[in-house]
Amino acid sequence: MKNILVPCDFSDHSRAAAATGAWLARKTGANLHLLHVVYTLPEWNKMPVEQQQNYPKEEARMVEAEIKLDKLAGSAMFKSCNIQTHVHNGYPRELIVQFAHTYNMQLIIMGTHGTGESQNLFVGSTAQQVIRSARCPVLSVKKDYKPDNVKRIAFASDFDPASDAVDQLKNIAVKIGADVDLVLVNTPMDFYDTPTAEKRLKAAVPAQQQVKFRTHIFNDLTREQGIINFSRYIQADWIAMMVHPRARKPYYYLGSAETVLYHSEVPVLSFRFQEKG
């Protein structure tokens, strides 16, 4: 892990994400990038400076954001971090994903809600779209989360077909000293017999284990409920799961990761599904 991106709108949720990013950057030695997106005219970046000066409000917002972001980057929470700040203009949900891809971010850490988004929403619209669209893993945190020791990560999947997410998770777990609990959740509507479940779980464990892996079969009424209940049962510090691209689905259509994130007391690390090999 070389680069971690933290979108920052100065809300309590984004500050919790920034603190988590600083903690993880120190653990992994990664560069930490703070990104603030300012709403401006769509053609702002194409304007010459002289023309931008005809829009003093937009110009002032860009300058104010740069000052606030630099002040945040200089705070004690980022001690010993290699940190860079970026202020861009555009639409946050699109620009965050584009920035992460263009600049080769290995992880995005963001709050579940942004400034002005209702806490009654399951997940804020920006976080929802980033989870659905980002090519790299996304760690979503709530405003009260305080990063500390992460000892157990529950990774839920049906493990068919195999993906590279377990290997990616292993690399993170090595750096932070966490164990990984692989769990296949059985439900009445999606049930696997024990031999099939055990075979899939066994095949998912990396051959070169640098962290401790445990495998579990857990029964519950729904997949999302099973993931939540299992993570509470083992007292997991994080939940990890795969998401399938659904960027064009309407915001009210909730995927499994979004549902789990809403009900979870711990951060959720989502991996975009990509078949192994």
- Are residues 51 and 57 in contact, defined by beta-carbon separation less than 8 angstroms? no
pTM over 0.85: yes
Distance, CA of 225 to CA of 216 (rounded, Å): 15
Residue 244, both tokens: 């399938």
DSSP-derived secondary structure for 24-82: HHHHHT-EEEEEEEE---TTGGGS-HHHHTT-HHHHHHHHHHHHHHHHHHTSGGGTT--
pLDDT > 70: percent of the chain:
88
Q: What is the residue type of 191? A: F
Q: What are the pLDDT digits (tens) for 196-220?
A: 999 999 999 988 778 999 999 999 9
| Domains with residue ranges and CATH for the chain | 3-141 (3.40.50.620), 152-272 (3.40.50.620)
Rounded CA separation 264/172 (Å):
20
Helix, strand, coil percentages in the chain from 3-state DSSP, rounded to 5: 40, 25, 40
Residue with tokens 């892990």: 1
Instruction: Answer for the pair 244, 133: CB distance below 8 angstroms, yes or no.
Output: no
Q: What is the pLDDT of residues 23-55, one digit of tens each?
A: 999 999 999 999 998 877 667 667 787 877 777
Residue 51 CB neighbours (<10 A): 11
Alpha carbon distances (Å) from 61 to 28, 116, 133, 175, 269: 34, 17, 27, 38, 32
Higher pLDDT, 252 or 13: 13
